[in-house]
């Protein structure tokens, strides 16, 4: 069954690209649904921001409780997971808000809608900056660096124990590999989109290529110097 699903997906993808390459046409109705997209993204971003704010408030309240033994361990585990959820939600809200502004500007949406998107983006930026300041409630016994410190990441690693550093570095390495793969796939996708629609995505391809080269160059020089 799994093989059949893979074959089916491969056939659909191959059929689509084959249709495009032999002269078919394909267009995304981005302009037609731009207002709807902006509304959906803004609503999702708003609820993610509210979720983040409520999560941070809950973390602060939990940290104020005096617990010991197993209860304290359970509280620490809950706080760590909640903090992770809040970080993901606030970052996603920020990305959606920025995407909303971009859609509005590109599709020449109404001025009030663009202004509302900008306000939503500012709100998302504020919320996205808050989790780093609440980390002290997740690790009250740690001497954590100031989020405004220019060497914040390096000092944060120093304040973490060996196990936490291993988890963070393993996660960062996984993100590095995933980012490289997704950027390569994006280049290929933009190429097929250009062929399918006749709208050149050469600038996007060049920008992504430069980003990909910069990321890999930075990574290689960092590990070479150690």
Please check the confidence at residue 197 and state whether its pLDDT lies above 50. Answer: yes
The yes-or-no verdict on residue 12 having pLDDT over 60 is no
Q: What is the DSSP letter of 182?
A: H
What pLDDT sits at residue 11? 45
pLDDT of residue 30: 61
Q: Which of 42-56, 102-116, 130-144, 176-190 comes out lowest in average pLDDT?
A: 130-144
Mean pLDDT of the chain: 78
For residues 180 and 218, the answer to whether their CB atoms sit within 8 Å is no
For residue 222, pLDDT beyond 90: no
The whole-angstrom separation of Cα 11 and Cα 19 is 12
- The candidate with the shortest Cα–Cα distance to 54, out of 90, 21, 97, is 90
> Which two structure tokens, joined as six digits, stand for 12?
């659909």
Give residue 151's pLDDT.
Answer: 72
Give the model's confidence band at 67: pLDDT under 50 very low, under 70 low, under 90 confident, else very high.
low
Q: What percent of the chain has pLDDT over 70?
A: 80
The conformation of residue 65, written as its DSSP 8-state character, comes to S
> Residue 193: which pLDDT band, with cuts at 50, 70 and 90?
confident
Long-range contacts at 29-33 (CB < 8 A, ≥ 24 apart): 30/103, 30/107, 31/107
């Amino acid at each position: 069954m799994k093989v059949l699903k893979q074959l089916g997906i491969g056939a659909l993808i191959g059929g689509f690209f084959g249709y495009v390459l032999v002269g078919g046409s394909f267009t995304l109705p981005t302009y037609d649904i731009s207002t709807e997209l902006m509304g959906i993204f803004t609503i999702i971003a708003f609820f993610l921001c509210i979720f983040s704010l409520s999560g941070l408030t809950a973390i602060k309240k939990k940290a104020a409780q005096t617990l010991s033994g197993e209860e304290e361990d359970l509280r620490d585990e809950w706080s760590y997971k909640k903090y992770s959820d809040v970080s993901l939600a606030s970052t996603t809200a920020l990305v959606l808000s920025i995407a909303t502004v971009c859609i509005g500007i590109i599709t020449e949406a109404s001025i009030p809608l663009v202004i509302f998107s900008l306000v939503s983006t500012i709100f998302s930026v504020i919320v996205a900056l808050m989790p780093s300041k609440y980390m002290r409630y997740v690790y009250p016994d740690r001497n954590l660096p100031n989020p405004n410190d220019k060497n914040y990441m390096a000092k944060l690693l120093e304040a973490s124990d060996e196990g936490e550093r291993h988890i963070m570095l393993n996660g960062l390495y996984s993100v590095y590999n995933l980012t490289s793969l997704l950027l390569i796939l994006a280049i290929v996708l933009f190429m097929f989109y250009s062929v399918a629609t006749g709208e050149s995505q050469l600038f996007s391809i060049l920008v992504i290529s430069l980003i990909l080269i910069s990321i890999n160059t930075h990574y290689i020089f960092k590990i070479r110097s150690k």
